[in-house]
């Protein structure tokens, strides 16, 4: 029998074509939803490879139910949805898709920063709803970006790419990271200093036990009342209740979020009632070219593992 590959969400035919030639590929048939938990557990019983999404929780229960499983290949750079300790315990390889989404995510980060700073989404609504009656001196005014201070929390590849874009806007760029780097026209700052002096605080750090909730009420209170918080990393890094209060009370000027602690974000979430919040549905890497490159990395890793070859982008 051919090895079985289960894909938890429908992907383009071209992304799975090569695997389908060699293996039995089973794929959840819907693009808008991922396989429900019971289906995942059922498929895991026979699967030799799981091709997963960030929305899939791959925990000890999954690994324990999958005696044939050799690899979990995650369609993301992040892998906080996978229990790596359980993967090691069961001898399962885990891979991700680094590097190829750096530029696309940096583009989206800066687009979100600009949209937040200049009230782009609210301004568009006034046009589409017919509320745009005339030009007004202070109507839809935002904050300057050119020449402002940008603070980047997490200076990995994406952080460096965002810094390059910010240099084109003549921004004063600070960063805070676990390790210091030698970067031209970019200065290291302690965490509290970065929060206090930045006009824009951009979160690009992974979600770990150390970074979970690292932006809470105390941290938001350090920021300028004219500052904006931009999060394109993971929702759990920001205390959403504290952010709601800070935005509602105008302790900070605005925020832009591409990620939430629960995704999709519930429609009754208090944050969605705020006009000074710009929201996106986790589209940091969402260009056609980037997503296809990410899928190619997943397919390559699965093929290599099932053929007992060296696996690239291995996390464990």
Mind telling me the catalytic residues? Answer: 234, 263, 282
196/267 Cα distance (integer angstroms): 32
Closest CA to 58 of 33, 30, 78, 32: 78
The neighbour count for residue 269, using CB atoms within 10 Å, is 15
16/20 Cα distance (integer angstroms): 6
The neighbour count for residue 122, using CB atoms within 10 Å, is 16
In whole angstroms, how far apart are CA 261 and each of 166, 231, 234?
27, 11, 7
The torsion angle over the Cα atoms of residues 194, 195, 198 and 201, rounded to 10 degrees, is 100
Closest CA to 246 of 206, 212, 194, 201: 201
In the block, tokens 């929780």 appear at 57
């Amino acid at each position: 029998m051919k090895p079985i590959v289960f894909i938890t969400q429908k992907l383009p035919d071209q992304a799975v074509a090569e695997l389908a030639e060699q293996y039995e590929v089973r794929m959840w048939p819907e693009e808008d939803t991922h396989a429900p938990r019971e289906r995942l557990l059922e498929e895991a019983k026979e699967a030799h490879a799981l091709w997963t999404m960030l929305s899939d929780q791959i925990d000890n229960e999954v690994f324990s139910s999958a005696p044939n499983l050799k690899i979990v290949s995650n369609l993301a750079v992040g892998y906080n949805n996978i229990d790596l300790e359980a993967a090691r315990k069961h001898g399962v390889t885990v891979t991700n898709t680094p590097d190829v989404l750096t530029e696309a995510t940096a583009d989206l980060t800066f687009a979100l920063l600009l949209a937040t700073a200049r009230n782009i989404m609210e301004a568009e609504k006034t046009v589409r709803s017919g509320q745009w009656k005339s030009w007004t001196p202070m109507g839809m005014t935002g904050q300057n970006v050119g020449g402002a201070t940008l603070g980047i929390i997490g200076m990995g590849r994406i952080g460096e790419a965002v810094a390059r874009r910010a240099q084109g806007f003549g921004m004063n760029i600070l960063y805070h990271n676990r390790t210091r780097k030698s970067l031209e026209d970019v200065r290291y700052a302690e965490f509290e200093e970065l929060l206090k002096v930045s006009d824009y605080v951009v979160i690009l750090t992974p979600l770990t036990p150390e970074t979970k909730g690292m932006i809470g009420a105390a941290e938001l209170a350090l920021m300028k009342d004219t500052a904006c918080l931009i999060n394109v990393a993971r929702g759990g890094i920001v205390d959403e209740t504290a952010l709601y209060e800070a935005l509602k009370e105008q302790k900070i000027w605005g925020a832009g979020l591409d990620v939430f602690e629960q995704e999709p974000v519930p429609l009754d979430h208090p944050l969605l009632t705020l006009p000074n919040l710009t929201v996106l549905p986790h589209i940091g890497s969402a260009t056609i070219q980037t997503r296809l490159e990410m899928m190619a990395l997943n397919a390559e890793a699965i093929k290599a593992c099932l053929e007992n070859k060296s696996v690239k982008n291995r996390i464990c």
